[in-house]
Structures are given as C-alpha cells and as structure tokens.
Structure 1
Amino acid sequence: MILVHTPNPKEVSAYLELFRAAMPERQFVDLEHAQLSDIRHLVTWGLPDGLLADMPRLEALFALGAGVDKLMTRPDLPADLPVYRLLDGGMAAQMTEYIRYGVLGYQRNMDLYRRQQATGQWRKLAPRLPGDIRVGILGLGEIGSAVAQSLARDGYQLSGWSRSPKNIETVRCLHGEAGLAQLLAESQVLACVLPSTPDTRGLLNRQRLEALPQGAMLINAGRGDLLDQDALLALLDNGHLRCAQLDVFAEEPLPADHPLWRHPAVAITPHVAAITLRQPAVEQIVAGLRQLAAGLPAAGLVQRAQGY
C-alpha cells in the first residue's frame, strides 16, 4: 500500500489519479483511506508532524520536490529510512526560464529603465550582447547543470560552482573555496540554485556579497537561508549591488512589512521559480518504485550527510 499526501486534498486527488493510471498493479491511497500500519511506501510533501511514527512497515519515502531540507530535520524521520527526492519533475526548464528572465533583464537594463520610469526619465542606455555578461551559477546539480548549459548556449560567459569537481559540457566548472572566490569576483550576475544544507546555510554573507563586482545582480532561487538579507539590503543601498531577483526567503511568506518588498532594486516572486509538475513527478516516482521492486537502486536517493 502506497500513501500519497500533500496538504491540499484536490492536489492529492489529482496525484492519485495519475499514480493509479501509471501503476495500476499497486494500491495508492490518501490519508483518509490509509491503514497506516500497512503503508510500505510514502509519497509526500507537507506530511503532518508525528505521522511517520505510525507507519512501522514503511520502507521508503518519495518527496514531491527536489529540496528536502525541511523533511530531513523532522524528529520523527527514522534514521535508516531511505528518502528519495525528485531530480527534475519538470523543474529544470522552469528554473532556466526564471534565471534567463533575470539575466536578460540585467543585460537589457530593464531594472534601470523601471527606476527611470518611476521618476519620469527618458534616457537610453548602451545596449549589451549576451557575450558581454559574465554569469555565475551557484549549484551544479541536475537543475543547476541544466540552467548553466542553457545559458551557455544563449551566449553568456557562463561559469558554475559546486563543492566538488564537476565536468559539464559547455560549462566552465569551478569548485571548492578557491573556486567560489573566483566565481564571485567575476560574476556580473550571480544565480543561486543551491539546496539548504549545513554547508550552504549562510553561504551568501556580507563578505561574499561584497566580493561580487560593483554593479552586480543577485538571483536567489535556491533557499532563503543561504542569503543574509540584511547584508543584501545594505549593499543595494550603498550601490555596490545593482539589483536582486528573489524567489526564496528566510521566512516564507515574506512578512508584509519587510523592507525587501518596497526596495526599488528588488524584484520578488513567491517561491515559484520551479514548481513540481505532476506528470513528470509521477513518472519519476513510478520508475523508482519499479526499480526498488526489482531489487535495483532508485534514482534520487538522499545522502543524509550532504542533506540532498
């Protein structure tokens, strides 16, 4: 028996329909119709606290998302329970669009034109080509690699960073502390798609933000706890950073009185850069369930020491 749960009952119904069509040989149930003691596999996002303790036969958990930081800190998560995350689920294309939008806006000076509009200025700015813009991608996992390769094809000067060495076609790959320092010093646009882990929390502090070139742009579509929001505001105010496009925040929803909402150099979206698409997610999870049933390893296994 496989339990499918999200906080939205309509979403659960939609997922159940897709799972039952894709894998009719297995029994998929919602929380209302589940016998928790019989649950062997769990597909979830936003599971109620304490519920995992009521599933003694649980063999694996499939998360309906790529980021699993909140899931991994649950006190009721068994230490030996395999957890699988989505490697894409339709998110790579969306993330590429989101970051391309920000990079193109920076290249074409759209943020500056919006500020000119607010004061009634009619002033043309010098045009720039993609090859004039140095873009750095923080995070070269499945989604980050796809973003980096796509922007490289667009003609931007593209570099990417990860903690360990990577080799990605068309992407200049940097790694480690030395590589991070080099990427920051070069990036006119820094786009972050890193997950939240013990190693990444607080990564973009004031010192590292100050290492970006004068007039740089920050795009954060990873996790809110990667970024020192107060430091970002200070560097926008003193002009060291030109603008920011933010999709994730330390507290979500972002409080209505937070100064980021009203800053003229900040564009805000409500954690929508890359949303799980149901059909690709179901296809990936069904493939994983079939691999496990055949005694094979399934894709997306979370390495707990790394947090992803």
Structure 2
Amino acid sequence: MDFTKNIANFGKNISTSFTPFAARTQQFVREQLTQVEDKTQLPPDYLELEKRVDALRLVHQQLLAVTSQFSNESYDYPPNYRESFVDLSRTITEKVQLLSAANTATEAQNILTKPGTKSAPKTFAHAIARASLNSAHALDSSEPLATALEKYALASEQVGEARLQQDAQIQSRFNAAFTTTLNTNIMFAQKARKNVENARLSLDAAKSKAKSGGGIGFPNLGGARQQDPHHEEHLTEEQRVEVETAEDEFVGCTEEAVGVMKNVLDTPEPLRNLADLVQAQLEFHKKAFEIYSELAPLIEGLQVEQEASYRKNREGGA
C-alpha cells in the first residue's frame, strides 16, 4: 500500500536525527497502530496505585465542583425573587435600631428609603429577614403580628450572618486546602506517572531499535514485523548500553512514582479537610438552632396572648 510506503519512508528520513522525544513518539505511534506484543508491562502493584490516585483525584474534583459554590454569596438566594435597591440598602439590625428612635411616620419612611452604611447580603435568610421587616411595617406597630415579624426579621438576619461565617470557613479551611492538594501533590503524582510512561516508551523504543538493526522502523501496517528470537543475543555493545540505560531510567522513574503516589495516598490531609468542612456546617446549624430556639417561645407567647385577647373579645361581644 502507498500509505504503508509513505510511513516507512518517513521513518527513514528522521532516523538520522533520532532523539529521545522522537523515539518515544515513534514508539507511541507504533503501539497505537499495531498490536505490540513486547510492550513492557508495569507491575500490578504500580497499576493499583495509579487507580487509587485517580480515584482520589476524582474525589477532589467532584467535591470542589459543589463546595466552590460557598464562594458565591447568593447561592441560595431565590432566582426569581426581585428586591429593590431600597430593600438592599440597609441591614435589618440598622433599620430596626433607627426605626425605634423615629418619632413620626415620616421619619420612619425616610429611614426605610435612604441607603445605610452597609448594604444587605443577598442570601435566602437575609431575603426572608427583609421581607419580614417590610411586612411588619406595613402593619400597625401595635399588632402582635407586626411585633412577631420584626423579631423574626432580626433572627433571620442573624442566621444569614452565621451562614456567611460558615461559607468563609469552608472557603479557607476546605476549598483552599483541597485545591492545593489537587494542584500540587496530586499533580506531582500525575507528572511522576507521565515520567514513567515516557521512560517506558523510551525503553521499548530502544529495544525495538536494537532488534530492527538500529533504525527507527515505523510499524508495518500490514502485519507485525517478524523478529528473530535469538537476535538479542547478538546485540552490539552500543545497543546493549542503550537498552540498559533505558531500563535503569525506567526503573528509577517507576520507583520515584511509587514513592510520590504512596505519599499522596497516605497523607491524612483530605480527611482533616473533610472534618473542617463538617465542623463549619455543624457550627452554622448549631447557631441557627440556638437563634430559632430563642425566637420560638417569643412568637408562641405573642400567639397565646393574641388568642386569649381574641376569645375575651368574642365572649364580651356575645
């Protein structure tokens, strides 16, 4: 076939400038285009380490794909909810403090419409807080529901602030650490493995070159090249040195990669990072539990008082 001749001619043309990179490339092409039976095999233990490192890399990538959202303040903010600039212009705490000092409805209105010293975050809890406070001031301040809504607004803002603290801890203790491991230790392992593959290709290229009499010899696409099983016994000293040097390089790279991969797999850092992630979430939910546990009896008390007043009014009217 003309294609086969062209490949062979190309191999002859670059044989005079044979470099390690060219040798590896030629060997890689040979393995891709033909079924190579004399390919140097890596030890089963080494291949098992590779699988474990790949699994660990996948763990880091999958978790970071999700936990990276903790750097997005509004990850739980309702996507179809719209708030005005006025809504976001002040924190709930600041509004409540200023409103408590207002003497007239006009003063209260000005407080609600003018921007403050700090804009409010766009989280779900903060959005609930703003909606609750706006609802409270749409009612008469003497109504129990207005009082309850204001208390709920303050509590919701506290929960929102606790969530932001959680997010900051996760970013610094988990995301940053996992990203560093992925981009350093695991990447070093990947590079070490690549060095092993390159050394293996160089070794097999040296063996192939020696067996074929010294040329690069691109593969015969019509079938595997026939080799003399006793040919290795008649290698020249130069050929033996080249093969042995490649073998030493392959063994050295393999031993180094084994050490690097074991170090990546043995380090307790990922588990420590996961513990930090859980601790940050625990602290947030514990804080939220404390806030709502304090709020619930207050709301319930207002409810009981209103129901008692309601029954009294009905009985008096009867």
Shorter chain as normaliser: what TM range? under 0.3
Which structure has the larger Rg over C-alpha atoms? 2
- TM-score, length-scaled by structure 2: 0.21
More contact order relative to length (CA 8 Å, sep ≥ 6): 2
Structure number with higher strand proportion: 1
Structure number with higher helix proportion: 2
